[in-house]
Amino acid sequence: MDDDAVIAATREWLDKAVIGLNLCPFAKAVTMKNQVRFVVSAAQHLDGLLEDLDRELDFLAAADPDEIDTTLLIHPVLLPDFLDFNDFMQLAEAAVGEHGLEGMIQIASFHPAFQFEGTAPDDIGNYTNRAPFPTLHLLREASIERAVAAFPDAETIYERNIDTLEALGHAGWQALWRKP
């Protein structure tokens, strides 16, 4: 897939699942304001992906939050195995600290085979974090704090998402991706 197709698939997931199912009540505003940066990594190895992450951490930290509030760093080829991706997240988290950005930027992870600890691979709750490709979501902590302050009972979002996906079921999830 070329970069445009990868970004289009990621945008579709963002629109239909994350925003459409309201899995993240904060995503709609930054998407509507065009403040989401989509970056496709073409790195051939994990060191290259870490270099891309380093660049994006520096870019986001320096960017005007009114212009770029968050970044999705997507890699369509590397880390197809979720456990390898999960292990890589330790390196990604360490990079935040190495850049002196702890307390400023955090990383959320999304993967086509995402699986919460203690769940079966096909548990519908895992789909809250399933994206078309391995994706690192770089978020400004200040933005998260503002959003959480404006959203009553933010700590219940996870449980509400599980309820939403359980009501939708696997068939409903599959139906989201059917073309009309």
Q: What is the pLDDT of residues 55-95, one digit of tens each?
A: 999 999 999 999 999 999 999 999 999 999 999 999 999 99
CA distance 23 to 130: 11
Q: What is the pLDDT of residue 4?
A: 97
Give pLDDT, residue 128: 94
Question: Is the separation of the CB atoms in 53 and 71 below 8 Å?
Answer: no
Nearest to 133 by CA among 78, 86, 76: 76
Reading the block at residue 91, the tokens are 């390196």
3-state secondary structure (DSSP) of residue 131: coil
pLDDT of amino acid 156: 82
Determine the Cα–Cα distance for residues 103 and 151; give it in Å rounded to an integer.
Answer: 20
Structure tokens at 4: 């445009």
pLDDT at 44: 95
Mention every residue, 6+ apart, whose C-beta is less than 8 A from residue 59: 37, 68, 71
- pLDDT given at position 67: 96
Using 70 as the pLDDT threshold, list the residues of the chain that sit under it. none
Angle at 64 between CA 59 and CA 69, to 5 degrees: 75
Sheet holding 70-74, edge to edge: 36-40, 70-74, 135-140, 105-110
Q: What is the pLDDT of residue 146?
A: 84
Predicted local distance difference test score (pLDDT) of residue 34: 96
d(CA 104, CA 97): 10
The alpha carbon dihedral of 73, 79, 80, 84 has a sign of: negative
And the tokens for 53?
């992450």
C-alpha span between 68 and 62 (Å, rounded): 10
